[in-house]
Chain A
Amino acid sequence: MHERADRLLAGLVTLDDEVEREFEQRLVESATLAFRVAFGVLRHHEDAEDVAQDALAKAHRNFHQLRDRERFRGWLVRMTWRMALDRQRANRRRASRETIVDADDAPASDPDVVSRERATRLWDAIDGLPEKLRLVVILAGIEGHNIREVAALLDVPEGTVKSRLFAARNELRAQLSWMATRTR
């Protein structure tokens, strides 16, 4: 009787060890991706790390529920995205962001200032996109993901990613048209 219990317990321990090893492997592969997704929403280093850490901890807690482990990255990306949006809403009034600078601090002729102003405007325009378009734009900008990889991460057809990306770029182009008139 005790031997059976010991064998059963040993089997459970072995199973836990295997799950832990597999999660460790996924963690090494996907930690940076989770951080960048969170950073794409928050653009705040510490906040992005906090959110990515929360997302990875949640993924660890629910790792056994994930039947297809090959979809871990997409699962983690969507989870991180939602948590980052929640954090962004909570920190909506946060004053200091790392990349935000006041465009009037320096003369527009300074190339660095122009570049930073351009980046600020671009991210403001991205923040104004609908969530689905915004997520596609950010994922396409992370780690050089192509359309197929973005489709796999979001678990949607490639055509959907293409149309969303096209719509997002049109929207951004319309919002940033002032740059062309100003730089001429």
Chain B
Amino acid sequence: MDGHKDTLTDEAMAREIESALTVEPSPQFVAKVRARVAREPLRAANAGSWRLWLGGAAVMAGAVAVFVWIGAPPATSTRGAAPSSAALATGSEAAAVPNEPAQPAVAPRGVAPAPAPTPIRRPLRRERARLEPSAAQTNEVALPRVLIPENEKRGFELLVTELRDREHAKVVAEATRDLITPGPPWLEIAPVIVEPLQDVGIAQGEGQ
């Protein structure tokens, strides 16, 4: 039985393990694997393209959502009602965005905290551009339109033309000749001389 001592040597253990693992699969093993593989469709290298399609679809959905959100009318809320068209027509952004009362940072004890204010959507740039007048429009003086008869208009234009033709001095002189009359040469007004008053204290002392 001394021959069994080599059971503990590395070589003997290796031989034992190797002989135990020298097993062959059944002859049908590879054929079974082939049949199973044939049943399953192969995911080729381009199979990852579905990820690209999914990513593209997600990006498109996001873009559509943003587009719809921008084009949507401003949301109505109970606390901050949507600005009326009249208010918007004035171009006043303050009217469009009403001032919320300042909420205290910490609610006092025993007082229920006020509900969170409903967020009010600010008018977008496109809406502001539509509602607010531009700088050029703001600089123009809005003149009231006056309707006058055509002949009066023409006469006024002739008058302006004559004035521009340096006849205005003559025209004015003729028009105002009767109104301007020189004053009488004998009427002379002497200049008024105002003398300074004497000191009150000195005057009283002299009186005593």
Contacts and interface: CB of A to CB of B under 8 A. Distances in A.
Interface of A: 12, 15-16, 19-20, 23-24, 27-28, 31-32, 35-36, 39-40, 43, 45, 48-49, 52-53, 56-57, 60-64, 99, 114, 118-119, 122-123, 126, 137-138, 140-142, 144, 169, 172-173, 176-177, 179-180, 183-184
Given A32-B25, A138-B21, A184 B2 contact: yes
A35 B5 contact: no
Main DSSP-derived SS at the A contact region: helix
A183 B4 contact: yes
22 contacts: A16-B44, A19-B42, A19-B45, A24-B34, A28-B30, A32-B24, A35-B24, A36-B23, A49-B25, A57-B36, A57-B40, A64-B44, A64-B45, A64-B48, A99-B20, A118-B16, A141-B14, A141-B20, A142-B18, A180-B8, A184-B2, A184-B5
B5 A53 contact: no
Contact of B21 (A12, A40, A172): A40
B51 to A, nearest CB: 13
Interface string B170-196: 000000000000000000000000000
Given A28-B30, A64-B45, A122-B16, A180 B21 contact: no
Given A27-B33, A57-B33, A64-B43, A39 B21 contact: yes
B32 interface: yes
**What 3 A-B pairs have minimum CB-CB distances, sorted nearest first?**
A183-B4, A141-B17, A35-B25
* Interface footprint category on B: 20 to 34
B124 to A, nearest CB: 42
Interface of B: 1-2, 4-5, 7-8, 10, 13-14, 16-18, 20-21, 23-26, 29-30, 32-34, 36-37, 40, 42-48
B28 to A, nearest CB: 9
B42 A20 contact: yes
Given A15-B46, A141-B18, A169-B10, A180 B5 contact: yes
